[in-house]
Structure 1
Amino acid sequence: MKSLQTFGWYAARIAPHLPKDVFKPVPSRLFGGLVHLLISITGIVAISVFNLNPFINLAIGILIGTSSASMGFLGHEILHGTVVRKSWLRDLLGAVAFWPLSTGPRLWRKWHNMNHHLHTQHEEHDPDAWPSMKQFVKNRLLRSIYRLPFTIRAIANFCSLTITFTVHSARMFIVYLKDFKPTKRPVVWLECVLPWSTWIGLLFIIGPIKWLFAFLIPLLIANFIVMAYISTNHRLNPLTPINDPLANSLTVTVPKWVDALHFNFSYHAEHHLFPGINPKYYPLVKTHIKRMWPERYHEMPLWKALIALWKTPRIYYEQHKLIDPHQGKVYGSLGNGLEPSKINFRKVDKKGKTLHRDA
């Protein structure tokens, strides 16, 4: 692993080369969000009011799901303060954008902005980091899961992307609720309960079949799209004791029209260097990173990153490696021997001694 630097170290060297305008909020991004909001509302109303063919309902549900994911990406942008600056307006718009995913703005800022961004890929302090061997041996459920054949685990892993964001968000609510001041907790509860009340209320109004198309299928699709990015943001990178975004974050590449649809969420190393800059300007930040530190920067097509995730385990070994514990197969991480186009492993015994290298 190369010597690590903090995100501030990189940012201080890039910032002088950026126009001052990039540090200003970009409220025009809300127009894209309005389009996705109208698509979602129109789709839900159409499914609820009309008795449409199930295949038409499914097509509308898919459209709602893709728009819900895009709204989530915009909500992430809004709650970093890069769209509007006023705190009450930021939280209101962030709540609306995250409504389909039922995540409150205050919880998101606590969990994501404060903890994930400050402690990215830290073994103990990043709430989104995957477990190390030290944590693995203490977790009976995880040990049981890793006794399953690799292929079954890989399939289950990818299927679980359809629910992971929702489940993890609920877990973060439980973890961080106690960290809010007692006077703030009722608001945090309200931000959690209101979206779910909307969706459960919709179930009783339109019935389970229409609700399946209007909410459940879109939720699964939104989860999958959001997690396709989130799962590749860091899970191929090493754990790092110093928050170095060029070591612990991956930028994925997608077609330009997808970037437009998803508000440039693919530029993830750039986001961790400058979370206060609107993603509209991340292509410019990327140009400077690749000019200054091309050997440190990690990027690859999203599809390639997902395949690499499929082929590797998610337990960290010695921080910069990945291990399949029961099989004793050790893989590299990005910057530490992992080659996505040809993934190899070495087999180790319980003492860490190499027994075999995959050709």
Structure 2
Amino acid sequence: MNYTDREFWNTQAEYAKKMRPLLPPEAFLPNYNSVWLLLINGAILILGWAIAHDLDRWNWQWLWLYLPFSLVMGNSIIVLLFSTHDLLHSKAIKHPFVRQAISLIGLTMLWTPPTFWKAVHNREHHSKTNSSQDPDRNYLYEHPNNWGKWIQNLFVPSAEVNLLWLAVGMGHAWGIHMFRNLSSVLLFNNGLTNYPPAAFRVSSKERKAIALEFLVILGIHLGIVSYLGFHPVKLVLSYFLPLWIGYAGIMFYVYTNHMLCRMTEVNDPLMNSISIRVPKLFDLLHLNFSYHTEHHIFPGVNSNYYPQVQALLQAHYGDRFNLLDASEAWRLMLKTPRHYKTETTFTDLKGKTVVACPLSGSHDIEPTSCTTTIC
């Protein structure tokens, strides 16, 4: 059976309808652990800055002892995003003001207003995953060669990427992604800007809320920098290094979510999403974010139950479910270009090399047997 034929595609709703009765009812109850994780990791960051406040009193020979704090703070930034991500997909907090305030705390270090996140992620990405309207997809080859496309080409894992720029991009790609989409909405909001992969619009009420939340976020960051006395060592160790570590950890997952998949105008998560295998410790630390196809089928489910969703997918759709080791996903990304030539092929920035998407939704094609032709 050829699952690349559209007659065999399903929508997210169809998968959810079939599998929901097979999951326990408690899987769909609000997960309050994400709220506590958010607050605990926010407290870890505050503790790290409190310690860093006195770094100017440390003998320079002992400053390396702060590096474990930098690492823990970087992981806290990852957890803040993933816990807020789960919170905004669920009904764990029903009061709108409290929900918005806690979400703002969780997304501040990501420079992401929660109203904007709900628009770009919950509404646009989840309903239009890897389609021509998805702001999170790869750029198209025919997309204008502007600064947004150029920077993404420079940073993202691909067959052409310079490993030095890939390393730089791991710590900065999140910021670029936020800047291009936020500026498109706040400055223009006409759905016509061509430097994001796909522009979108928000309502005037949402736009005002996004602007206000961004000013609050900016004020918090300025407050942190001011508290650290604009001291370069304090800033590097307790502000910039945790941000770079956190953003790199987030992008490690984000790059594998959809970038290897074909484009789909039908929102079929088994066609347009990938789940990866990572060490169990990382699943424990990062709220099972590696179970990404499962998340796209059940966005609001308690993430503790994603392994059960995965077992159901393997039982019912094992021949079309994209499940890879993280190392294999990265190997494939580093062997293929990152711009869509067609729905099922990648090409480089100049359009000289064309490669079939290694994960096209058909397991008649082995992921390692990409075919390459020179145009």
- Do they fold alike, i.e. is TM over 0.5? yes
CA contact under 8 A between 2:74 and 2:244: conserved in structure 1?
yes
Q: 1:224 to 1:79 in 2, by over 3 A?
A: same
**Counterparts of 1:95 and 1:307 in 2: how far apart (Å)?**
36
**Counterparts of 1:279 and 1:155 in 2: how far apart (Å)?**
34
Correspondence 1:97 to 2:97: no
**Counterparts of 2:292 and 2:29 in 1: how far apart (Å)?**
19
TM-score by length of 1: 0.88
CA contact under 8 A between 2:275 and 2:322: conserved in structure 1?
yes
Partner of 1:356: none
**Counterparts of 1:73 and 1:223 in 2: how far apart (Å)?**
12
Give how far 1:49 is off: 2.4
Aligned partner of 1:292 among 296, 312, 316: 316
**Counterparts of 1:338 and 1:222 in 2: how far apart (Å)?**
35
CA contact under 8 A between 1:332 and 1:338: conserved in structure 2?
no
Correspondence 1:76 to 2:64: no
Partner of 2:374: 348
Partner of 1:46: 51
Q: What secondary structure sits across from 1:134 in the alignment?
A: coil
Partner of 2:126: 117
Q: What secondary structure sits across from 1:122 in the alignment?
A: coil
CA contact under 8 A between 1:330 and 1:348: conserved in structure 2?
no
- Which range moved further: 319-328 or 209-218? 319-328
Partner of 2:233: 209
**Counterparts of 2:113 and 2:82 in 1: how far apart (Å)?**
14
**Counterparts of 1:101 and 1:284 in 2: how far apart (Å)?**
30
Correspondence 1:23 to 2:32: no
Q: What secondary structure sits across from 1:128 in the alignment?
A: coil
Deviations 1:120-160 (A, max 9, x none): 0002x10001112222xx32555799799955545423431
1:191-230 equivalence runs, <5 A: 191-206=213-228, 207-230=231-254
When the two chains are superposed, the root-mean-square deviation of aligned CA atoms in Å is: 2.5
**Counterparts of 1:220 and 1:62 in 2: how far apart (Å)?**
10
Q: What secondary structure sits across from 1:316 in the alignment?
A: strand
1:101-180 equivalence runs, <5 A: 101-123=110-132, 125-135=133-143, 138-140=144-146, 142=149, 151-153=160-162, 155-177=164-186, 178=189, 179-180=201-202
Q: What secondary structure sits across from 2:276 in the alignment?
A: strand
List structure 1 runs of 4+ shifted beyond 6 angstroms. Answer: 143-149
Q: 1:151 to 1:111 in 2, by over 3 A?
A: closer
Give how far 1:338 is off: 6.4
Q: What secondary structure sits across from 1:252 in the alignment?
A: strand
Q: What secondary structure sits across from 2:112 in the alignment?
A: coil
CA contact under 8 A between 2:34 and 2:86: conserved in structure 1?
no
Aligned partner of 2:357 among 332, 341, 351: 332
**Counterparts of 1:263 and 1:129 in 2: how far apart (Å)?**
23
CA contact under 8 A between 1:145 and 1:153: conserved in structure 2?
no
CA contact under 8 A between 1:165 and 1:223: conserved in structure 2?
yes
Q: What secondary structure sits across from 1:322 in the alignment?
A: strand
Correspondence 1:55 to 2:80: no
Specify the code of the residue in structure 2 equivalent to 1:347: T
Give how far 1:225 is off: 0.6
Partner of 1:33: 38
**Counterparts of 1:265 and 1:30 in 2: how far apart (Å)?**
16
Q: 1:221 to 1:343 in 2, by over 3 A?
A: farther
Q: 1:344 to 1:162 in 2, by over 3 A?
A: same
**Counterparts of 1:214 and 1:306 in 2: how far apart (Å)?**
29
Q: What secondary structure sits across from 2:324 in the alignment?
A: strand
Correspondence 1:13 to 2:22: no
Specify the code of the residue in structure 1 equivalent to 2:44: I
Deviations 1:31-53 (A, max 9, x none): 33333222221111111124343
Structure 2 stretches lacking a partner, 5+ long: 190-200
Partner of 2:198: none
Q: 1:252 to 1:214 in 2, by over 3 A?
A: same
Q: 1:345 to 1:146 in 2, by over 3 A?
A: farther
Correspondence 1:189 to 2:211: yes
CA contact under 8 A between 2:336 and 2:355: conserved in structure 1?
no
**Counterparts of 2:365 and 2:247 in 1: how far apart (Å)?**
27
Specify the code of the residue in structure 2 equivalent to 1:327: K
* Percent of residue pairs identical: 27
**Counterparts of 1:299 and 1:232 in 2: how far apart (Å)?**
11
Give how far 1:280 is off: 1.6
Give how far 1:222 is off: 0.8
Q: 1:313 to 1:95 in 2, by over 3 A?
A: same
Deviations 1:82-129 (A, max 9, x none): 533333232222111112112111000000000000000002x10001
**Counterparts of 1:222 and 1:145 in 2: how far apart (Å)?**
19
Q: What secondary structure sits across from 2:337 in the alignment?
A: coil
Give how far 1:201 is off: 3.1
CA contact under 8 A between 1:62 and 1:221: conserved in structure 2?
yes
**Counterparts of 2:100 and 2:123 in 1: how far apart (Å)?**
15
